[in-house]
């Protein structure tokens, strides 16, 4: 992964509580040890909030969503069209190899994140969406991160690797 130079933040989404619809934001403040101001995990109202988890910010690659739309690989009966607001992750990226960033530090705009654990799809997401996304999103459902340096982020911000 030494050739990754960076990508871009496409979308920011938050929800005030578990199961609430996600809301698109044009900017968000990330707070170390807490999450995104106004998001369910920041507020302690997310499904996983009471459990010890690395879930201050969740990311997913738009490339995974595009793969679902082209049925690649063909793990379901046909294409699944999801909008970026549907996947329930906070940040949608382009050109960022999230699976390779476990334990790595990287910059998103003026903030610094550290990759925690890979995020795996759940059957609950299938229920919410009414689409068979569990298998096609397995191993490409995003990355849960810690916030090391807080600040404000906006769609269009660069995402860049940092030396550890």
The pLDDT value recorded for residue 50 is 45
Q: Which residues of the chain have pLDDT under 70?
A: 1-2, 47-53, 164
Whether the bond into 73 is cis, omega within 30 of 0 = yes
3-class secondary-structure state, position 49: coil
Q: Among 144, 141, 155, which residue's Cα sits nearest to residue 68?
A: 141
Alpha-carbon distance 95 to 64, whole Å? 11
Q: Which structural domains are found in the chain, ordered by start?
A: 18-161 (2.40.33.20)
For 112, residues 6+ apart whose C-beta sits below 8 A from its C-beta are: 105, 106, 147, 148, 149, 162
Go through 40-78 and write b for each residue having 16 or more CB atoms within 10 A of its CB, e for each that does not.
bbbbeebbebeeeebbbbbbbbbebbebbeeeeeebeee
pTM of the model: 0.88
Alpha-carbon distance 88 to 44, whole Å? 16
Alpha-carbon distance 89 to 14, whole Å? 8
Residue 105's DSSP bridge partners are 114
> Which pLDDT tens digit goes with each residue over 70-113?
887 777 778 888 888 888 889 999 999 999 999 999 999 999 99
The pLDDT value recorded for residue 72 is 78
Alpha-carbon distance 110 to 28, whole Å? 11
């Amino acid at each position: 992964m030494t050739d990754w130079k960076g990508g871009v933040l496409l979308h920011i989404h938050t929800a005030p509580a578990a199961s609430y619809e996600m809301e698109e934001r044009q900017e968000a403040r990330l707070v170390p040890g807490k999450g995104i101001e106004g998001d369910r995990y920041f507020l302690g109202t997310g499904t996983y909030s009471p459990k010890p988890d690395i879930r201050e910010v969740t990311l997913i690659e738009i490339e995974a969503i595009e793969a679902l739309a082209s049925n690649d690989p063909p793990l379901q009966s046909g294409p699944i069209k999801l909008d970026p607001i549907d996947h329930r992750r906070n940040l949608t990226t382009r050109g960022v190899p999230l699976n390779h960033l476990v334990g790595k530090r990287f910059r998103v705009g003026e903030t610094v994140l550290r990759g925690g654990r890979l995020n795996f799809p759940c059957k609950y997401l299938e229920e919410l969406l009414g689409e068979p996304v569990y298998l096609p999103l397995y191993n490409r459902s995003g990355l849960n991160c810690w916030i090391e340096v807080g600040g404000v982020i906006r769609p269009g911000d660069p995402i860049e690797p940092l030396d550890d």
